[in-house]
A and B are shown apart, each in its own frame.
Chain A
Amino acid sequence: MKQPLIVLEKVTKVYTTGADTIHALRGISLSIDVNEYVAIMGPSGSGKSTLMHILGCLDTPSSGRYWFGGRDVTTLDDEELAQIRNREIGFVFQLFNLLPRATALKNVELPLIYAGVPAEERRRRARAALEAVGLGDRLFHRPTELSGGQRQRVAIARALVIEPSVILADEPTGNLDTAAGLDIMRLFERIWARGTTIVVVTHEEHIARHARRIIRIRDGLIESDTPNPEPITALPSPPVQLP
């Protein structure tokens, strides 16, 4: 049974910088169900990241409505948005965005700290999340001591550790070579298979083709929104072994 997780209705985002007004989003309406796997594509400057920030409750629309899990997010205050980010949303960024001085374990614990999870349980869950992304042997490494692919996997573990409703990934493979990028996509495949909703922003066709649905945007508007009949699931090399 289909159950909408994300519903946008005529969402716009306008930036004013000095005399300029930039219409980053011009009226986006879309619905994403629980456990969909969606890729958002579009040329540079088309508004993909802006859309992601709104989806992730990091930013609020200039107009329009946004329901997340049936809740009207546009009426929520800062505090409540922080709580949604903390409980429901896992972010994965192009530049990883890990705390540079913290170990992998500490980075993954971070969302649990703000959720008020006691230390022991926090450590256990963070370790399990790191093991799930194949980094069980890198718990106490700092980001600078890890490869790009490993850093992104730490970031994914950090997104996973809260057992989010949705993982939002903005160009997650943008800073990785092809092999490392593929590793990440395999990981998403596994996470999706376990029931998590995934939204990936990319401008690479071969990355987008892992998703089951592809939304193309241009100049702040949806250009097309189509299912992907032939998703890449047969992976070219054996998948990372997850526990």
Chain B
Amino acid sequence: MRRTELREALSTAVSALRFNAFRSLLATLGIAIGALFVSLMGWLLYGLDTALERTITLLGQDMLYVDKWDWSGRTRWAEVRSRKDITLQQARALAQELQTAQIVAPLIEAYGVRLSTGASTATVTVTGTVSAYGLTPAGTVALGRFFAPVEDRSNTPVVVLGHAVARQLFPTTHPLGQTIRLAGHPFTVIGVLVQQGTIFTQEIDKRVYIPLPLFIRLFGAANRSVTIAVKAGSEERMEQLRQELRGLMRRIRRLAPEAPDDFSINEIQAIREEITGLRQAVWGIGLGMSMLSFVVGIIGIVNIMFVSVAERTLEIGIRKAVGARRRSIALQFLIEAALLCLAGATIAVVLGNAIAALTRTVVPQAEFLPPYIPLYHIGIALALASTAGIIAGWVPALRAARLHPVEALRYE
């Protein structure tokens, strides 16, 4: 194919589309909707992934959590439920013998605890832990400080609030130094954690942290399984740490050599699986809707291209009479169909960007969604649309190319 012919095909296609601008836009509606779905799907997935990654980073990628519960959901539920609780003694034993870890902190939880200030009340999860937890990414404060080592042993009633709790209780006032009551006991707020959760992990921010001894006095340690947070210090040491944790835990829990682990060593990464379902739903729906639109769109384009070929039969005859080859004619109509779809997709992408920007303005909480369609997904939408165009243009283009010159010239 010669360059002059290619350029001619392109400019003919452009002028044909411009001449029938309104009809062309109408014809491309299906493709545009398909491209819009692809764009929005990409946008949502991108948002979900960013949100997830941010949470994972905030909670620390080099953290392992020894727990009775398996976060990944890979172990059978019945088996997990029948495991014995991890006790504080076991946690202490582990902390003493562990070599590889940088930080070890036990976490013990009480759910549904009533929290009140003079003005408002809330129900929160209370976590008892030690000062070292403040050195992990999950214990990073936005305001004030985490517990000091002295508070691990003293009975000073201090509390660190999760981000969401602080926002709810003290929307206008400064939380530090305020007194709150947990199950009726007064505590002084010394810190507020950074925001960690996102759209699907909001629970993380609805916790409050108090020193372990106080927790035991107020809520008791019986029937509570301890989670042991362990920071490796670097991602390279993760595997070594995992091995060591497993060996120690098996010994501490006195497991027979052939017995399976009666504990799990969890990673933050496991929460990825929490959103796989959501991701798949977005994918499935997005894919289904866009494919449906593309199919409808292709039918529309095929039709309009047949009309275009019919209308321009004489033109095709003239071009053939002066020496246009079949492939020149076919190319002209293929390009026309592809451009038609590309135009539709461009409109869709502009619309998609408007929707993305508007969503962020109207729903500020949706800050995990970017205010634009990611470039990668724009590329996919445009590529899919032009492919659809070429598919749709194929048969009409072949018909045009195969027209007999004399018959075409006779056409009025």
Contact = CB atoms under 8 A, between A and B. Distances in A.
Given A82-B325, A110-B322, A119-B4, A59 B19 contact: no
Nearest to B407: A59
A58 B321 CA distance: 7
Contact of B4 (A83, A86, A99, A113): A113
Contact of B323 (A59, A85, A122): A85
B322 A117 contact: no
Given A53-B406, A58-B405, A91 B4 contact: no
Contacts of A97: 314, 317-318, 321, 409
B318 A114 contact: no
B315 A113 contact: no
A192 interface: no
Interface in A186-236: none
Nearest to A112: B4
Given A93-B409, A113-B5, A116-B4, A86 B15 contact: no
A101 B409 contact: no
29 contacts: A53-B406, A56-B321, A58-B321, A59-B405, A59-B406, A78-B326, A79-B325, A82-B320, A82-B323, A82-B324, A82-B325, A86-B322, A87-B323, A97-B314, A97-B318, A101-B15, A111-B322, A113-B4, A113-B8, A114-B8, A114-B324, A114-B325, A114-B328, A115-B323, A116-B3, A116-B4, A117-B4, A118-B4, A122-B4
Contacts of B318: 97-99, 110
Contacts of B406: 53, 58-59
Contact of B409 (A58, A115, A122): A58
Interface string A36-68: 000000000000000001001011000000000
Nearest to A56: B321
B319 interface: yes
A125 interface: no
A91 B323 contact: no
Contacts of B320: 58, 82, 85
Interface of B: 2-5, 8, 15, 19, 314-315, 317-326, 328, 404-406, 409
A151 interface: no
A26 interface: no
A114 B15 contact: no
A115 B314 CA distance: 20
Contact of A101 (B3, B19, B322, B325): B19
Interface string A117-139: 11100100000000000000000
A111 B325 CA distance: 11
A119 B406 CA distance: 29
Contacts of B325: 78-79, 82-83, 114
Given A59-B405, A101-B15, A111 B4 contact: no
B323 A114 contact: yes
A85 B4 contact: no
A153 interface: no
Nearest to B401: A78
B5 A114 contact: yes
Nearest to A111: B322
Given A59-B406, A79-B325, A114-B5, 11 more contacts: A56-B321, A58-B409, A82-B323, A82-B324, A82-B325, A82-B326, A97-B314, A97-B317, A110-B322, A113-B5, A117-B4
Interface centre among B5, B8, B315, B318 (most CB of A within 10 A): B318
A113 to B, nearest CB: 5
Interface residues of A, number: 29
A168 to B, nearest CB: 10
A114 B325 CA distance: 8
Interface of A: 53, 56, 58-59, 78-79, 82-83, 85-87, 91, 93, 97-99, 101, 110-119, 122, 158
A184 to B, nearest CB: 18
B319 to A, nearest CB: 7
Contacts of A122: 4
A115 B317 CA distance: 17
Given A58-B406, A97-B317, A101-B15, A114 B322 contact: yes
Contacts of A158: 322
A239 B134 CA distance: 103
A121 B299 CA distance: 42
Contacts of A110: 318-319, 322
Nearest to A110: B322
A85 B15 CA distance: 26
A240 B214 CA distance: 113
A111 B323 CA distance: 6
A115 B323 CA distance: 8
Nearest to A80: B325
Contacts of A117: 4
Contacts of A58: 320-321, 405-406, 409
A116 B2 contact: yes
Nearest to B322: A111
Contacts of B326: 78-79, 82
Contact of A83 (B2, B314, B323, B409): B323
Contacts of B3: 116
A114 B324 CA distance: 6
Contacts of B409: 58, 93, 97
A85 B321 contact: yes
A51 to B, nearest CB: 12
Contacts of B4: 112-114, 116-119, 122
